[in-house]
Amino acid sequence: MCGIVGYLGFRKAYPIVIKGLQRLEYRGYDSAGVVLTNDNELNLYKTKGKVSDLKKIAETQNIDGNLALGHTRWATHGIPNDANSHPHVSNSGNLVIVHNGIIENYNSLKKELIKRGYSFDSDTDTEILINLIEEFKKTNNCKLGKAVQLALKSVIGAYAIAVYDRTKSDEIIVARLGSPIAIGVGEDNKEFFVASDASPFIEYTKDAVYLEDEELAIIKLGKDLRVRKIKDDSFVEPNINELQLNLDQIEKGGYDHFMLKEIHEQPNAILDTYRGRLLADRGLIKMGSVDNNITKFLNANRIIIVACGTSWHAGLVGEYLFEDLARIPVEVEYASEFRYRNPIINKNDVVIAISQSGETADTLAAVKLAKEKGAFVFGICNVVGSSIARETNSGAYTHAGPEIGVASTKAFTTQITILSLIALKLGNLRGELSNSTYQKYLHEMVLIPSKIEQLLKIDSKIKEIASIYKDVSNFLYLGRGYNFPVALEGALKLKEISYIHAEGYPAAEMKHGPIALIDESMPVVVIATNRGHYDKVVSNIQEIKARKGKIIAIVTKGDTIVKEIADHVIEIPQASESLYPLLTTIPLQLLSYYIAVMRGCNVDQPRNLAKSVTVE
């Protein structure tokens, strides 16, 4: 939930760490800090606010040194203020730490350390951890790596940490449990990088080692990286991965915001999701991870989908897809509920975990639980090599490319794309979809990216609607069938980036409560595509109009009925009902984006949020 960057090598550390922190700000932006070491000195700068605030402070001071650690924080223990910002320094003034995660037993550890004479300047669990390391180092008279290992054995919780001793400026110790950490290895071990993901060091090295849970790495200048298991001290051969990421993918490329760039990337992102899988000319969907486990999918009693946030909404679309096209019963669960309610899972259940980041703590815990209970667990992740991708029995990457904007956009549509491919394939193999219907779907899917391209051109119309409603306090989003999860997603997008209160409902549920909210100042976005329950949705629109609500309708090209009644109409291209979510989502993303921009909100970094939620 926080971002960590570190550098040790022959270059000036500060510019690398600061730029890296800016790339990791999607992980949290409550406060930022950097510590640098030059000739055994520590220069520590930290502040409440963003990395840009930190730069203003640090750049008037001494920022020399070839060793540095930096941190951008999403607050858990302690409010976002200067004192609670990382890095933290031990009582002796020698050891420094940056930490992402939560130490759950911090209270008892703190009491014990106070008894031993330690004092604390912040309210953080992290300051306790660095002093615990110091205490182990002192009492065992051991090296830093050993002291970190001993301290980590006595903590309960989650962590990715980087630690160094200012008196030994050729070494950084890194460890992880539950929070991601990557180590970039420079040529001939002349330099090393540490980061929560690889984006801070892609211009320097393509060689990265991703630590596994309960591993500790000793980074020493000029030496090969050494990795040990925290539990038993055994050595692990570091697995060096070649990074596929490039710089263009993590820059704005001329767009004002990452979110807008990512909305516009959707046609290509979906093509990348299709690549090598959707072979419409050959009448095939080829997915190695599904094909290799096809009996598990075909014999599934039911599919349980676990996810959070937008990924959970994609899971709801999955429910409609699997039940409708493949006739397999589906349950969609919030990972955070699923993991704690002792769910009934059978051997013949297939559990699908969906996560853009692949690091969401609740989804990861749900995956582990489902595996323990004997289910076959399949992951749909975007981030290659992420924890969920590695923990699941098998899975498919969405290949959407890095999603930096905190509000998820292309992750959602590419997750739905994967779910559609699997559902169509299973539907055909189970005999629920005739060959001709199956072929028709495959050819129609090929056209989806160009239909999204068309939709992205209606920008100016959406801007106009945004300017009319940008100052309202509430919004309702309604949809039925496949478009119900899209209504939920539209409402989530609006509330998270514009701070306007918004609710999504199945259109028919409106009568059971939300209708009381409708008056002339309530805008209602209604998704009224021409298939499914069109007539019923038209009746719902009439009910809203009768109460003077304002209708923003998403309709199919050629619609005449809704056009007559709605205040504003956004047209989308024709498609089969099950493919509509891939299209109806686009105008809702744009509407939220423009409303948020017009309200002066920080679209890419909305308040209180972080991109990957690696704490419960």
Please identify, using beta-carbon distances, which residue of 149 and 360 lies nearer to ligand M6R: 360
Please identify, using beta-carbon distances, which residue of 148 and 488 lies nearer to ligand M6R: 488
Burial of 567 (0-12, 13-18, 19+ CB in 10 A): middle
Please identify, using beta-carbon distances, which residue of 303 and 406 lies nearer to ligand M6R: 406
Task: Determine, following the binding rule CB under 6 A, whether residue 356 of this chain makes contact with ligand M6R.
Answer: yes
Please identify, using beta-carbon distances, which residue of 6 and 401 lies nearer to ligand M6R: 401
> Is-catalytic flag, 611?
yes
Amino acid at 40: N
The DSSP letter of residue 280 is: G
Among 68, 227, 375, 406, binds ligand M6R (CB under 6 A): 406
Instruction: Measure the CA–CA gap between 219 and 185, rounded to whole angstroms.
Output: 9
Choose one: 33-41, 121-129, 133-141, 355-363; the region binding ligand M6R (CB under 6 A): 355-363
Please identify, using beta-carbon distances, which residue of 179 and 310 lies nearer to ligand M6R: 310
Contact string (CB under 6 A) for ligand M6R, positions 478-497, x = contact: ------------------x-
Among 84, 94, 126, 310, binds ligand M6R (CB under 6 A): 310
> Is-catalytic flag, 261?
no
Interaction residues for ligand M6R, span 259-298 (CB under 6 A) = none
Amino acid at 390: R
Task: Determine, following the binding rule CB under 6 A, whether residue 309 of this chain makes contact with ligand M6R.
Answer: yes
Q: How far is the CB of 604 from ligand M6R (least distance, A)?
A: 11
Q: Which residues contact 113 (CB under 8 A, 6 or more apart)?
A: 128, 131, 132, 135
Q: How far is the CB of 344 from ligand M6R (least distance, A)?
A: 24
Among 76, 84, 363, 498, binds ligand M6R (CB under 6 A): 363
Interaction residues for ligand M6R, span 226-245 (CB under 6 A) = none
Task: Determine, following the binding rule CB under 6 A, whether residue 360 of this chain makes contact with ligand M6R.
Answer: yes
Task: Determine, following the binding rule CB under 6 A, whether residue 605 of this chain makes contact with ligand M6R.
Answer: no
Angle at 356 between CA 352 and CA 358, to 5 degrees: 70
Q: How far is the CB of 605 from ligand M6R (least distance, A)?
A: 11
Instruction: Measure the CA–CA gap between 215 and 173, rounded to whole angstroms.
Output: 11
| Look-up of token digits 């001071």 | 61
Task: Determine, following the binding rule CB under 6 A, whether residue 612 of this chain makes contact with ligand M6R.
Answer: yes
Angle at 371 between CA 367 and CA 377, to 5 degrees: 65
Task: Determine, following the binding rule CB under 6 A, whether residue 357 of this chain makes contact with ligand M6R.
Answer: yes
Local structure of 509: helix, strand or coil: helix
Burial of 393 (0-12, 13-18, 19+ CB in 10 A): middle
Please identify, using beta-carbon distances, which residue of 152 and 335 lies nearer to ligand M6R: 335
Are the CB atoms for 476 and 523 separated by under 8 Å? yes
Q: How far is the CB of 587 from ligand M6R (least distance, A)?
A: 16
Q: Return the residue nearest ligand M6R (CB atom).
A: 309
Q: Select from 227, 244, 276 the least CA-distant residue to 383.
A: 244
Contact string (CB under 6 A) for ligand M6R, positions 438-477, x = contact: ----------------------------------------
Task: Determine, following the binding rule CB under 6 A, whether residue 311 of this chain makes contact with ligand M6R.
Answer: yes
Angle at 2 between CA 264 and CA 602, to 5 degrees: 45
Interaction residues for ligand M6R, span 496-555 (CB under 6 A) = 496
Please identify, using beta-carbon distances, which residue of 541 and 613 lies nearer to ligand M6R: 613
Please identify, using beta-carbon distances, which residue of 37 and 415 lies nearer to ligand M6R: 415
Choose one: 344-352, 404-412, 447-455, 560-568; the region binding ligand M6R (CB under 6 A): 404-412
Looking from the CA of 77 toward its CB, the CA atoms found within 13 Å total 19
Task: Determine, following the binding rule CB under 6 A, whether residue 417 of this chain makes contact with ligand M6R.
Answer: no
Q: How many CB atoms lie within 10 A of CB 21?
A: 26
Please identify, using beta-carbon distances, which residue of 1 and 67 lies nearer to ligand M6R: 1
Burial 369-379 (b: 16+ CB within 10 A, else e): bbbebebbbbb
Q: How far is the CB of 157 from ligand M6R (least distance, A)?
A: 20
Q: Select from 378, 387, 390, 382 the least CA-distant residue to 410.
A: 382
Binding-site size, ligand M6R (CB under 6 A)? 16
Choose one: 92-100, 119-127, 308-316, 445-453; the region binding ligand M6R (CB under 6 A): 308-316
Tokens of 321: 């897809």
Q: How far is the CB of 340 from ligand M6R (least distance, A)?
A: 17
Instruction: Measure the CA–CA gap between 359 and 363, rounded to whole angstroms.
Output: 8
- Residue-wise DSSP of 451-498: HHHHHHTTHHHHHHHHHHHTT-SEEEEEE-TTHHHHHHHHHHHHHHHH
Instruction: Measure the CA–CA gap between 536 and 524, rounded to whole angstroms.
Output: 16
Burial 65-101 (b: 16+ CB within 10 A, else e): bbbbbbbbbbbbebebeebbbbbbbbbeebbbbbbbb
Residues present in the chain in total: 616
Identified catalytic residue from 2, 308, 381, 601: 2
Q: How far is the CB of 295 from ligand M6R (least distance, A)?
A: 28
Identified catalytic residue from 296, 410, 425, 611: 611
Choose one: 271-279, 402-410, 553-561, 563-571; the region binding ligand M6R (CB under 6 A): 402-410
Please identify, using beta-carbon distances, which residue of 159 and 312 lies nearer to ligand M6R: 312
Q: Which residues contact 52 (CB under 8 A, 6 or more apart)?
A: none
**What positions carry a catalytic annotation?**
2, 611
Positions touching ligand M6R (CB under 6 A) are 308-311, 355-357, 360, 363, 406-408, 496, 609, 612-613
